[in-house]
Amino acid sequence: MVIQVKAMTAPEAAIYLRQQLGPLVSWETYLADLRRGRAQPMCDFDLQPCIAVRDRCRRPLYAIRDLAEFVLSVRRRNPAARAGIRPQVCTVDIDIDDPRHWTMRPPALLTVAA
């Protein structure tokens, strides 16, 4: 028996989780770590891909139903996780005359915008 399931790619799922739960973790990294067995489930629901699609390589897809259940489970466990959290925007000073690669430049001082 074959069923149709609505699904999202991993990057889209990460964006959806960020919108619904805020910046609790780096969601794209968290999903990748879960797939590789390097991370512990965050709640009662172990979010795993439902299938992979083959393009140039295998890409995981997450079922919309699983994502919604995961969001509800995380919200039950963590009251700080909520929708509508805006991205944090920072202001940094960058010396454009510095020819070094960004990893070799001195760290910037952050000024968080209100």
Q: In what order do the strands lie in the sheet with 58-63?
A: 7-9, 58-63, 51-54
Residue 56 resides in a domain: yes
pLDDT value at residue 33: 94
pLDDT of residue 4: 87
Residue whose pair of structure tokens reads 């074959």 in the numeric block = 2
Q: What is the 3-state secondary structure (H, E, C) of 24-85?
A: CCCHHHHHHHHHHCCCCCCCCCCCCCCEEEECCCEEEEEEHHHHHHHHHHHHHHCCCCCCCC
Query: How many domains does the chain fold into?
Result: 1
pLDDT for 40: 85
* Residue 105 covered by a domain: no
Q: Is the dihedral of CA 84, 112, 95, 102 positive or negative?
A: negative
pLDDT recorded at residue 87: 67
Burial class of 69 by CB neighbour count within 10 A (0 to 12, 13 to 18, 19+): middle
Expressed as residue numbers, the domain containing 21 is 7-77
The confidence score (pLDDT) of residue 93 equals 78
What is the model's pLDDT at position 66? 94
pLDDT (0 to 100) of residue 69: 94
Does residue 90 lie in a domain region?
no
Does residue 67 sit within a domain?
yes
pLDDT given for residue 114 in this prediction: 52
Is 63 inside a domain boundary? Answer: yes
| 95 in Cβ contact with 105 (< 8 Å) | yes
Mean pLDDT per 10-residue interval, the chain, length 114 residues:
88 92 91 91 85 80 93 90 74 82 80 57
